[in-house]
Chains A and B, each alone.
Chain A
Amino acid sequence: MAADNQANWAARRRIAAGWAHHLWHDKAGLFGLAIVVLLIVVAAAAPLLAPYDPAAQALRDRLLPPAWLAGGQLAHLLGTDQLGRDVLSRLIFGSRVSLVVGAGVVLLAGAFGTALGMLAGYCGGRVDDFVMRWVDTQVAFPGLLLALVILVVVGANVPSLIIVLSLNGWMVYARMARGSVLGLRQLPYVEAAQMIGCRGRRVIFRHILPNLTSPLLTLSILEFARIILAEAALSFLGMGVQPPGSSWGLDVAIGKDYMFRAWWLVTFPGAAIALTVLGVNLLASWLRVVTDPREREKQFARRMARKRHAEPVPAAAASVEARP
């Protein structure tokens, strides 16, 4: 048993080493990982990193440009907004809301939508009809309006923001999951799993769900970007993050009024959103490749080819090969 365990660990280490090796050679993936790690660190350590309280107003220092422009101060590296609040500090604190809302909605909506979609695709029949008509109905309903109504009733705060945006976003996952499952259900190894007596739940989670990782990852990334923008839109309409607080979306929304006098108010939060989405995209594309068994197969073939190449060729075989 001990030897078996060791073999297990060795196999796992080998896989992890393969991932790391692949990441090192996929510079774009490495860059994405760096951005995502940086963002998480910044969001977690916001109170330590931010030079000012993001809500502290200094009306005498209104609309200061970034430090490197004429009239800028080193004390406010990225300038100040219309109430004299430090843009850098707001950016750092804003990352918290954007990341929490983005990740929270993607997780919640993704889990709910994927589960329902897989159920619909796997069971078929009435379950399928019911779930998909529910999806259709909700897609037909104006999402932002629904979100506004709910937020007016329950009050705007981050948890209700996450729930409301999830309510609006789960349908795409359900449609995607159902479509994929309809095809995957026919795979011979899924049939084999049913044949050996796996219960439905095991078939779905062990044999079907892993195949959804790539499309799910891709969809989640696109949704993540959309959610950050949707949060911005809700904040802009006054039903998202409330003004003393800060989020990138809210800052872009407020800053747009001053776009011609103070470009830095929209540019920095906007750039932060773009950079986040880019980083997550790059990371996801690496993750998609390393979790795909077909890619693993290619890597295995490459390794075998290298090994064969490196081994000294036996004399007899060499002479045979030397002949034309």
Chain B
Amino acid sequence: MSDSDAAAPLLEIDHLTVHFPGGRSGFWGQERLVVHAVDNVSLAVMPGETLGLVGESGSGKSTIGRAILRQLPTTQGRIRFRGEDITKVTGEPLRNLRRHMQMVFQDPYASLNPRQRVIDIISEPLIVHGLARHRKDTAAKVADLLQRVGMPADAASRYPHAFSGGQRQRIGIARALALSPEFIVADEPVSALDVSIRAQVVNLLMDLQRDCGLTYLFIAHDLATVRHISRRIAILYAGKLMELADRDAIYERPRHPYTEALLSAIPIPDPVAQRNRRRLVNDGEPPDPLHPLPGCRYQSRCPYATAQCRSVEPPLEQKAPGQWAACWNR
């Protein structure tokens, strides 16, 4: 356990549950359906660390990110930021909270307003929070932010369409940094980018973390991307936490069959080794979020599933120092 673990967490989510209305079923529509997007997830993010949040589509990872930023209502559980409960914050206090936590979006093409110039995009947070009166007063600050994210200063007067995906993502990062937040939720920030520039953006995020003392919740859908940047990694499946451990423990001694399956999906850059290795292919259907089965959420695809897995939900237990997993068989 390092020193930072002893300190108070910057962000803590405690038994977070997010359900969405899923329409009605039954002949008269008498049965109200509920989408179980996130169920009973507890996490803590320490100041200055990067927590990787990994899961496949529909596992609820983006939902957690949005719930933390209070873009989605929480059904149950608590979210604490810097020790304060922010679960129910709305209105003006929520607006003030935005100065401390920001988001980097997945799609750099859709998350920048095509009608705004770069200077307007990056200076907007400063203006809406009253840190600058007019766009003109922000020119120096915007130039500084652009330089920090590795963009030329003359980018300010252009529109987003003049830039490539990687450059747009840098602009999005500059916008998130404008308010000097402590905490950033990076929602799959590189999954929409070309493989060749993913590393550049990840390295940029790490440099910024070092220079500005940022804390990240880094959301990704595969284990390949998060290895470089994360200190700890949380594995999510169907709205449940499967495994939570230090990065190296996840990659070297996974304690959950789902983690093993994710690891075996990372391609090895050696054709022979790639051909000869044992792939754990996930057969079976992912669970229906409208009607979760009793027991483990991973039961339908797990090669080790037993009768116990199908009836009783495994608790998240400490399997090794600093490594928690929710599995009966490990």
A residues contacting B by CB (< 8 A) are 1, 4-5, 7-8, 11, 187-189, 191-199, 202, 206-207, 210, 293-294, 296-297, 300
Residues of chain B lying within 8 A (CB to CB) of residue A207: 113
Residues 82-106 of B contacting A (Cβ, < 8 Å):
95-96, 98-99, 102-103, 105-106
Q: CB < 8 Å: which of A195, A297, A300 contacts B103? A: A195
Q: How many residues of B contact A (CB 8 A)?
A: 33
Residues of chain B lying within 8 A (CB to CB) of residue A189: 110-113
A8 touches B125 (CB 8 A): no
- Nearest A residue to B101 via CB reads A195
A-B CB contact pairs (8 Å), 25 listed = A1-B136, A1-B139, A5-B136, A8-B157, A187-B110, A188-B105, A188-B110, A189-B110, A189-B111, A191-B105, A191-B111, A194-B71, A196-B128, A196-B178, A197-B99, A197-B179, A199-B95, A199-B128, A206-B113, A207-B113, A210-B115, A293-B159, A294-B114, A296-B114, A300-B161
B105 touches A192 (CB 8 A): yes
CA distance A8 to B99 in the complex (A): 29
CA distance A5 to B110 in the complex (A): 29
Determine chain A's interface SS by DSSP, over half rule.
helix
Residues 124-179 of B contacting A (Cβ, < 8 Å):
124-125, 128-129, 136, 139, 157, 159, 161-162, 172, 175-176, 178-179
Residues of chain B lying within 8 A (CB to CB) of residue A191: 71, 105, 111
User: 18 other contacts beyond A195-B69, A196-B98, A196-B102, with CB at 8 A cut-off?
Assistant: A1-B139, A4-B139, A188-B107, A188-B110, A192-B175, A195-B71, A196-B125, A197-B98, A197-B129, A197-B179, A198-B124, A199-B95, A206-B113, A207-B113, A293-B115, A293-B161, A294-B114, A300-B161
B95 touches A197 (CB 8 A): yes
Q: In the assembled complex, how far is the CB of residue B164 from the closest CB belonging to chain A, in whole angstroms?
A: 13
CA distance A214 to B239 in the complex (A): 41
Residues of chain A lying within 8 A (CB to CB) of residue B176: 196
CA distance A4 to B159 in the complex (A): 16
B residues contacting A by CB (< 8 A) are 69, 71, 95-96, 98-99, 102-103, 105-107, 110-115, 117, 124-125, 128-129, 136, 139, 157, 159, 161-162, 172, 175-176, 178-179
A196 touches B69 (CB 8 A): no
- Nearest B residue to A192 via CB reads B111
Q: CB < 8 Å: which of B96, B112, B161 contacts A296? A: B161
Q: In the assembled complex, how far is the CB of residue B179 from the closest CB belonging to chain A, in whole angstroms?
A: 7
CA distance A56 to B125 in the complex (A): 64
- Nearest A residue to B125 via CB reads A196
B136 touches A193 (CB 8 A): no
A197 touches B161 (CB 8 A): no
B128 touches A197 (CB 8 A): yes
Known contacts: A189-B111, A189-B112, A198-B124. The answer to whether A4 contacts B103 by CB under 8 A is no
Q: In the assembled complex, how far is the CB of residue A287 from the closest CB belonging to chain B, in whole angstroms?
A: 15
Q: CB < 8 Å: which of B115, B128, B179 contacts A202? A: B128
